[in-house]
């Protein structure tokens, strides 16, 4: 995306909504420019009338005028900056909101393809760069350009020959700014990547804190953390170094320019081509012009940073999901609850050559329990994720009671599905709100009943604050079995026709597993249930068992049939007997 297109997009979607405030800030900038120029111009009559002609009438008026000019400049500058800070913070809020909406609505595969730490860096680091672009760069561009124009007018009014020499510095400053801006865009991108790396590491650090303790890797992680922090420091320091690199260049240019001007103006004064009052007024205007020229060189750098950040953010906001909500589609109508998968193939977009599922055709009978069995990595969980359309098949179709789910309203499809898996996801909220998440309109009575049916009330009532207990990040204050029962409580509350169980009782002790199995037995009554189970003891009574191997269905039938006819299933079963 070109810089012009990025600027147009930012104006259309964000800054354009605050055009009245931006124009008002522009009005105050005009006052700033006029009052700065007036200060330089007032030195002409001050020197001529007061110091040379000793005119008593202006000895009070000119100082008062100078005070008024500075007061107008200071007040206007304050209001201009205040307005642009408000605009930039509003734009920041809008951009972050748009990015969060994009994250929330994004296809799961999109989110999984990039570490969450990188997205957090986009949300914070990059948006802050755009805030700086608006709060500082945009205002400075307008304010300092007008101030420079006003001071140039004063300079030309005093002496056009000296002015031509002075403005020679402007193109030199512009060339410097262009070179620095190009370099700044590249370094800012690198800094954003390092910021993302640090966020990624921080998330992993918190997630794996116990692991670090168990394997005594504190020293190793300290060294790693030092590297991540140092890498970001190096890039941040480089940004700062580039940002101030214009200062010595401008100082040298200004010094040379003042020396030339003093030399040349001395000759003009000796030849009576310019008065001493005109010279000092000109010199004041030129010295005041130094600041806006210096600022404008940095503005170009700031704009480069902001545009580079926008170039990274806008594609995230614009990302189109492959899985459509299909809001205009017919609502799913389930009568029997049969699910048919017809010739399903699937490969992740990040690795299209590796076919995770290959030509899979199978049926899940309504109101019955069907199991998927196979070794880790055989494609069972991926297959399960096809049913609520978390992933889309590369080819093939899925039908609910002869209705193609790719054509139905997605909300109506997911309303009919609940999932309980081994990686229970909980929010850092109360127990009550975590259960209620499944159905926000549920009343307290329904939530308490769901907790009772899932056998969650047993441990909830023993918690410090009962249902109002905060459970910590992803339920860190609860045991694995307690988290699993809350997940089942959500499924009870939702009361959907389709139940997906993905290793729901794995890694639990026998007593906890027995409690959860009892809760699940109640949950799946008259529901179409699809179970992935590592422990075959939980699926012996399944109406049908599919054996999955390397992305293919290799056998199916009841438990006894498979023991006699399926080598893979028999092998799987015998291994578990030995383990037990």
pLDDT at residue 345 tops 90: yes
Using alpha carbons, list the distances in angstroms from residue 311 to 130, 136, 304: 10, 19, 11
If phi > 0 it is left, if psi is from -120 to 50 it is alpha, else beta; for residue 428 that is beta
| Distance separating alpha carbons of residues 458 and 102, to the nearest angstrom | 39
pLDDT of residue 537: 73
Please give the model's pTM, rounded to 2 decimal places: 0.75
pLDDT at residue 284 tops 90: no
| Distance separating alpha carbons of residues 122 and 197, to the nearest angstrom | 11
pLDDT digits (tens, 9 = 90+) for 392-444: 999 999 999 999 999 999 999 999 999 888 778 888 899 999 999 999 899 99
Q: What mean pLDDT is reported for the chain? A: 83
Residue span(s) of the chain under CATH 3.40.50.300 come to: 328-416+526-580
Higher-pLDDT residue of 386, 7: 386
Write down the CATH superfamily of domain 3-318: ABC transporter type 1, transmembrane domain (1.20.1560.10)
Using alpha carbons, list the distances in angstroms from residue 539 to 368, 376, 542: 12, 17, 5
568's tokens:
């893979």
| Distance separating alpha carbons of residues 542 and 559, to the nearest angstrom | 8
Residue span(s) of the chain under CATH 1.20.1560.10 come to: 3-318
pLDDT of residue 290: 73
What are the backbone dihedrals phi and psi of residue 245, each rounded to the nearest 5 degrees, phi first?
-65, -25
pLDDT of residue 408: 93
Using alpha carbons, list the distances in angstroms from residue 303 to 130, 140, 243, 445, 451: 8, 11, 12, 57, 55
What are the backbone dihedrals phi and psi of residue 333, each rounded to the nearest 5 degrees, phi first?
-120, 110
pLDDT digits (tens, 9 = 90+) for 52-105: 667 676 777 878 888 898 899 899 999 998 998 899 889 889 988 998 888 888
Q: Which residues of 371-380 are buried (b: 16+ CB within 10 A; e: fewer)?
A: bbbbeeebbb
Helix (H, G, I), strand (E, B) or coil at 290: helix
**Total length of the chain:** 580
Query: Domain spanning 328-416+526-580 has what CATH number?
Result: 3.40.50.300
| Distance separating alpha carbons of residues 147 and 72, to the nearest angstrom | 14
If phi > 0 it is left, if psi is from -120 to 50 it is alpha, else beta; for residue 527 that is beta
pLDDT digits (tens, 9 = 90+) for 151-164: 888 878 877 777 77
């Amino acid at each position: 995306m070109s810089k012009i297109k990025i600027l147009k997009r930012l104006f259309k979607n964000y800054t354009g909504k605050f055009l009245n405030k931006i124009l008002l800030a522009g009005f105050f900038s005009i006052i700033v420019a006029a009052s700065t120029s007036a200060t330089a111009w007032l030195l002409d009559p001050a020197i001529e009338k007061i110091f040379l002609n000793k005119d008593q009438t202006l000895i009070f008026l000119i100082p008062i005028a100078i005070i008024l000019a500075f007061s107008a400049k200071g007040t206007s500058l304050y209001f201009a900056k205040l307005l642009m800070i408000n605009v930039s913070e509003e734009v920041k809020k809008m951009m972050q909101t748009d990015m969060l909406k994009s994250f929330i609505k994004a296809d799961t595969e999109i989110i999984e393809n990039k570490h969450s730490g990188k997205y957090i860096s986009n949300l914070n680091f990059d948006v802050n760069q755009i805030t700086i672009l608006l709060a500082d760069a945009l205002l400075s561009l307008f304010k300092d350009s007008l101030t420079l124009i006003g001071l140039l007018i004063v300079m030309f009014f005093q002496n056009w020959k000296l002015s031509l020499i002075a403005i020679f510095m402007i193109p030199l400053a512009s060339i410097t700014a262009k070179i620095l801006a190009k370099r700044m865009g590249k370094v800012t991108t690198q800094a954003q990547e390092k910021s993302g790396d640090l966020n990624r590491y921080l998330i992993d650090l918190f997630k794996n804190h116990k692991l670090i303790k168990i394997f005594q890797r504190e020293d190793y992680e300290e060294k790693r953390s030092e590297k991540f922090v140092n890498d970001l420091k190096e890039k941040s320091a480089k940004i700062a170094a580039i940002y101030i690199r214009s200062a010595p260049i401008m100082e040298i240019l200004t010094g040379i320019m003042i020396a030339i001007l003093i030399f040349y103006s001395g000759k003009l004064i000796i030849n009576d081509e310019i008065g001493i009052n005109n010279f000092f007024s000109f010199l004041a205007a030129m010295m005041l012009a130094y600041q806006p020229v210096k600022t404008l060189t940095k503005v170009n750098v700031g704009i480069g940073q902001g545009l580079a950040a926008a170039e990274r953010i806008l594609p995230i906001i614009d990302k189109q999901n492959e899985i459509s909500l299909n809001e205009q589609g017919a609502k799913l109508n389930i009568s029997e609850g049969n699910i048919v998968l017809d010739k399903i193939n699937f490969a992740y977009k990040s690795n299209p050559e590796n076919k995770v599922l290959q030509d899979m055709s199978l049926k899940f009978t309504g109101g019955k329990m069907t199991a998927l069995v196979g070794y880790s990595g055989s494609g069972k969980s991926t297959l399960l994720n096809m049913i609520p359309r978390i992933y889309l098949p590369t080819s093939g179709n899925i039908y609910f009671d002869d209705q193609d789910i790719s054509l139905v309203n997605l909300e109506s499809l997911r309303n009919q599905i609940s999932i309980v898996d081994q990686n229970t996801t909980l929010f850092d909220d109360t127990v009550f709100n975590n259960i209620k998440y499944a159905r926000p309109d549920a009343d307290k009575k329904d939530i308490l009943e769901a907790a009772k049916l899932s056998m969650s009330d047993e441990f909830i009532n023993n918690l410090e604050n009962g249902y109002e207990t905060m459970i910590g990040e992803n339920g860190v204050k609860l045991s694995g079995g307690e988290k699993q029962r809350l997940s089942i409580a959500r499924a009870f509350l939702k009361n959907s026709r389709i139940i997906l169980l993905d290793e729901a009782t794995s890694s639990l002790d026998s007593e906890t597993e027995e409690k959860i199995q009892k809760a699940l037995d109640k949950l799946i009554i008259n529901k179409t249930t699809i179970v992935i189970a590592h422990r075959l003891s939980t699926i012996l009574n399944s109406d049908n068992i599919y054996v999955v191997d390397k992305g293919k269905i290799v056998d199916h039938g009841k438990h006894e049939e498979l023991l006699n006819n399926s080598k893979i299933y028999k092998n799987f079963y015998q291994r578990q007997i030995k383990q037990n």
